[in-house]
Amino acid sequence: MTDQKKITRSFFETLHPVLNRLNMERTLSPGKLGVLRNLSEHGRATTSELAVAGQVSPQGISLAVRELERMQLVTRTPDNLDRRRVWIQLTDQGSRKLAEEVSVGYGWLDRAVTDRLTQEDCKALEAVIPVLRKLALEAKSD
């Protein structure tokens, strides 16, 4: 195995448990959180737009939106000009739920960083953030 492949695998094997732990105390799936986050950041959207943004099937998004609507976290509104188009919009309750879910994950991470990392560890973590942002941008553009 090449050094690059070892780095890639080691990075994934290290990051995966952290991501799992961030999601452990949340009550919504990462997919539903992605829908709420997208609506919060970009405003109303159609299910097709949400499917593209979330890189999932339209059927998967439709199911997630139905569940979020049942929970009163989003609403569906027919377009005024094109009745075939339906807009999905975040409700106030949805905004609060998104903030709550994000806070749960950040709370654990804040505690872990404070309790487990030394000052040197924190500096190293801070130094790698720009590199991780590059990977995050790549993930968003795929």
Structure-block tokens of residue 6: 């070892």
- Domain 19-141: which topology? Arc Repressor Mutant, subunit A (1.10.10)
91 to 63, 71, 94, 106: CA distances (angstroms):
18, 10, 5, 23
CB 64 within 8 A of CB 31: yes
Predicted model pTM: 0.79
Res 142: pLDDT: 58
Per-residue pLDDT, 41: 96
What phi, psi does 114 have (nearest 5°)?
-65, -45
Record the tokens describing residue 31, joined without a space.
Answer: 């997919």
Output the pLDDT for position 141.
Answer: 66
User: What's the pLDDT score for residue 82?
Assistant: 87
Q: Which of 109, 71, 119, 72 is nearest to 91 (CA)?
A: 72
Model pLDDT, residue 137 = 84
Sign of CA dihedral 42, 50, 65, 44: positive
Query: Could you list the pLDDT tens digit for every one of the 142 residues in the chain?
Result: 689 999 999 999 999 999 888 888 889 998 999 999 999 999 999 999 999 988 899 899 999 999 999 999 999 999 888 888 999 999 999 999 999 999 988 888 999 999 999 999 999 999 999 999 998 888 776 5
Q: Give the domain ranges of the chain.
A: 19-141
